[in-house]
Amino acid sequence: MIVSCRATSPAPDSQVLAEMSDVLDRRGALKHPPVTIAVSDASALGIAGVFVSPTPSGRVFERFYRSGTIDSTDLLEAARTEQGYASAEGHAALHCLIGWVHARVHRAESEAR
């Protein structure tokens, strides 16, 4: 499924960090958090921008970072791959990006019904 974000520019690092902290805290406080608790579109772009690189997964992040649109399967695969190499903070950021993808897919499926 193609996922898109409405943001036209990425959030600055300070906003990404604040949103990540908020989302992780909110999701952690709930036994079964709803998929709709996710970072903003601008933060999703900001996270993708951090992981742009010449690697195959880095090129997926670059496509999303530049266009704001990507196949959800490609972005999920790239994020999960990068989690294996990321620092604790990077892993958390990618976890939030994965959550954003799941929220977008959920929204699209709900609107299609």
Grade residue 111 by pLDDT with cuts at 50, 70 and 90. confident
User: Residue ranges per domain, the chain?
Assistant: 9-112
Element (H, E) at 69: strand 69-71
- What value does the mean pLDDT take over residues 89-112? 95
Q: What are the residues whose beta carbons fall under 8 Å from the beta carbon of 80, sequence distance 6 or more?
A: 94, 98
| Structure confidence at residue 112 as a pLDDT band (50, 70, 90) | confident
pLDDT at 70: 97
pLDDT in tens, 49-61: 999 999 999 999 9
pTM of the model: 0.96
pLDDT recorded at residue 19 = 97
